[in-house]
Amino acid sequence: MSFLSASGIQKHFGAHVAVKRFDLEVEKGEFVTFLGPSGCGKTTMLRMIAGFETPTRGTIKIAGKDVTDLPPNKRNIGMVFQSYALFPNLTVAGNIGFGLRIAGRPPQEIKKRVGEMLDMVKLPQYAERYPAQLSGGQQQRISLARALAPNPQILLLDEPLSALDARIRASLREEIRALQLELKITTIFVTHDQEEALSMSDRVVVMRDGEVEQIGAPKEIYNRPRTRFVASFVGTLNHLRARIVDPARGAVEIEGYPAFTKSPLDGAGVGDIQAMALRPESLQVTNADGSANVFKGVVEDAAFHGAVVRVKLRLKDTLLLVDVFNTGEGAAPQRGQTLSVTFRAEDLIALQGD
């Protein structure tokens, strides 16, 4: 049985529908991320799990118990807010120990636990400081320590890294994931940053306009996106229009070039136009010519991105993005150069939806 389950969740704010339909089962110890653009309903959903909003319809269960109508202060959940929300009038120790103090734990126990938490987030000397004296990254770590101190059954994080600058974001990301794995705590993470989602999660829930587009492990979401939205939201993508030649064999034609795909084309008729996608890194430079799954075009631009050279290849109607590894040997593609690229059938993805 799953540890956290949300079934048939709907949320209306007056006339505005924030969440149209949400169903999810989360196993104990799992790290699940709600990923999507602003307004997709991910934060609203998180807040319903926390108890700050009540679903218009549907139920939320934690460890088998129905908590839908339970107030937040009775759910034993830890939460990290985007703006840290540390209490400015309490010291770091006061903040971290707050939950335990409310629960009436003895002072000795609180002190010990606070020390443990500070060690855990690697800020052992900061107990007597005030939040105003800390940097953004430090505040967020204290915020995490505060959320975890009372040993909650679930940890919620609402875009905790958005307010931090890029370098701190990257290191904190790893710290959070490492901590979560060590504590084996069920975690829900909300973000609009697909890099965070892919690198941290066991599973990703991609959301749009109050609905779930796809749920799956990061690799699956990335390599086998089910809809055009998911494909373009997660990673960069080349959008292609293909004409179906033989659905049973997966044969299509793209800009006059023959291609094969391993993606199922059920339901499509011969001659139909099918939306398809290719990741830039799945295209390889090749000398082959005339075979299937080969495109030939003219290099319009080649930008050096360090590990990768991002090439813009002009086909007849399409501008293809190709990521060429910078192996150090051989010259990088030049503007005006004619180039042939190839790909595997498994990498040509058929997309549904708009």
Binding site for another protein (CB under 8 A): 50-52, 71-79, 81, 83, 85-90, 98-99, 101-103, 130, 132, 146-147, 150
Closer residue to another protein, CB minimum distance, 90 or 345: 90
For residue 339, give the 3-state DSSP assignment.
strand
Closer residue to another protein, CB minimum distance, 160 or 225: 160
Beta carbon of residue 105, minimum distance to another protein (angstroms, whole number): 11
Beta carbon of residue 148, minimum distance to another protein (angstroms, whole number): 11
Q: 253 with 245: CB under 8 angstroms?
A: yes
Alpha helices in the chain (DSSP H): 42-50, 92-96, 98-102, 107-120, 136-148, 166-183, 194-200, 218-223, 228-233
136-148 vs 166-183: helix axis angle to the nearest 10?
Answer: 20
Residues in the chain: 354
3-state SS of 156-208 is: EEECCCCCCCHHHHHHHHHHHHHHHHHHCCEEEEEECCHHHHHHHCCEEEEEE
Beta carbon of residue 108, minimum distance to another protein (angstroms, whole number): 19
User: Who contacts 264 (Cβ-Cβ below 8 Å, separation ≥6)?
Assistant: 350
User: Who contacts 216 (Cβ-Cβ below 8 Å, separation ≥6)?
Assistant: 203, 204, 224
Closer residue to another protein, CB minimum distance, 77 or 204: 77
Beta carbon of residue 114, minimum distance to another protein (angstroms, whole number): 13
Helices vs strands, H then E, count in the chain: 9, 20
Closer residue to another protein, CB minimum distance, 131 or 235: 131
Closer residue to another protein, CB minimum distance, 98 or 222: 98
Alpha helices in 14-91 (DSSP H): 42-50
Beta carbon of residue 166, minimum distance to another protein (angstroms, whole number): 23
Beta carbon of residue 24, minimum distance to another protein (angstroms, whole number): 20
Closer residue to another protein, CB minimum distance, 30 or 158: 158
Match 């309490």 to its residue by tokens: 90
Beta carbon of residue 173, minimum distance to another protein (angstroms, whole number): 22
Exposure letters 289-318 (e unless 16+ CB within 10 A, then b): eeeebbbebebeebeeeeeebbbbbebeeb
**Geometric angle at alpha carbon 125, from 123 and 128, rounded to 5°:** 110
Closer residue to another protein, CB minimum distance, 87 or 325: 87
Beta carbon of residue 55, minimum distance to another protein (angstroms, whole number): 17
Closer residue to another protein, CB minimum distance, 80 or 321: 80
